[in-house]
């Protein structure tokens, strides 16, 4: 997969993709990640990428010209109707559809070339969303200073699903949310620490009983919902 990230702060991504699974996937040739400064696609001598909104109001809006130029240069597309197989252009914005595990699975399967536009300020000119963007994504019901943190989240969630990215082919299948459930509790050595013991069922070597216990604990954790102490934990 090829991933292009469009941002006005490319330095944000200076080392964020150089750790763990993403770094290994890059070295193995599973994914290529390129970060682009939107200013490089501005045609004026001052490389302006934003301007005040028509109709008044606070803040600035990202201009359409640099983003159209960037998408056309990176994908060859002249608009959303100019479909290219495997190409997905995504705008990261608070107004987007919630990003979930199912979103990551779908994009990992459908896209061979993913372009992520990091919104900033008051957003991007609506003509960008209307003519260039295949889908808009939000990582949560809160407002960030820009789409850069969201881009790093989306990239991380997708790359780990690419074939060969994880050491175990079943690791992604067993992640939280993959089957609609949160992950079960996990333990490692020592079997007893400060009086706290690992459940006996995990020590008896009976795989059927272990799987039954894990399933039950996953159901219990999921039932607790967002108020549970470990809701959504996945490191």
Catalytic residue among 122, 134, 135, 136: 122
Long-range contacts of 75-84 (CB under 8 A, 24+ apart): 75/113, 75/115, 77/132, 79/131, 79/132, 80/130, 80/131, 80/132, 80/133, 80/134, 84/113
CA distance 146 to 23: 24
Is 82 assigned a catalytic role? no
Is 4 assigned a catalytic role? no
Whether cis (ω within 30° of 0) applies to the bond prior to 154 is no
Catalytic residue among 53, 94, 149, 185: 94
CA neighbours closer than 13 Å in the CB half-sphere of residue 60: 12
Q: What is the SS3 assignment for 235?
A: coil
Is 211 assigned a catalytic role? no
Is 130 assigned a catalytic role? no
DSSP class of residue 120 equals B
CA distance 235 to 230: 11
Catalytic residue among 66, 125, 160, 183: 160
- The set of catalytic residues is 94, 122, 160, 175
């Amino acid at each position: 997969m090829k991933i292009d990230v469009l941002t006005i702060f490319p330095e944000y991504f200076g080392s964020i993709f150089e750790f763990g699974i993403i770094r290994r996937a890059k070295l193995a040739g599973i994914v290529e990640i390129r970060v682009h400064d939107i200013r490089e696609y501005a045609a004026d001598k001052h490389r302006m990428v934003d301007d005040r909104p028509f109709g008044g109001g606070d803040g600035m809006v990202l201009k359409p010209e640099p983003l159209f130029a960037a998408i056309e240069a990176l994908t060859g597309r002249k608009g959303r109707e100019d479909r290219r197989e495997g190409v997905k252009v995504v705008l990261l914005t608070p107004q987007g559809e919630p990003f979930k595990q199912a979103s990551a699975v779908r994009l990992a399967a459908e896209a061979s070339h993913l372009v992520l536009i990091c919104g900033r300020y008051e957003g991007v000119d609506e003509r960008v969303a209307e003519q260039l963007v295949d889908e808009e994504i939000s990582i949560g019901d809160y407002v960030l200073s820009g789409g850069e943190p969201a881009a790093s989240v989306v990239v991380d969630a997708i790359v780990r699903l690419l074939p060969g990215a994880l050491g175990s082919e079943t690791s992604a299948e067993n992640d939280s949310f993959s089957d609609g459930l949160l992950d079960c509790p996990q333990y490692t050595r020592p079997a007893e620490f400060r009086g706290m013991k690992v459940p006996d069922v995990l020590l008896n070597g009976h795989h059927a009983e272990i799987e039954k216990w894990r399933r039950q604990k996953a159901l219990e954790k999921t039932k607790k919902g967002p108020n549970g102490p470990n809701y959504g934990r996945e490191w």
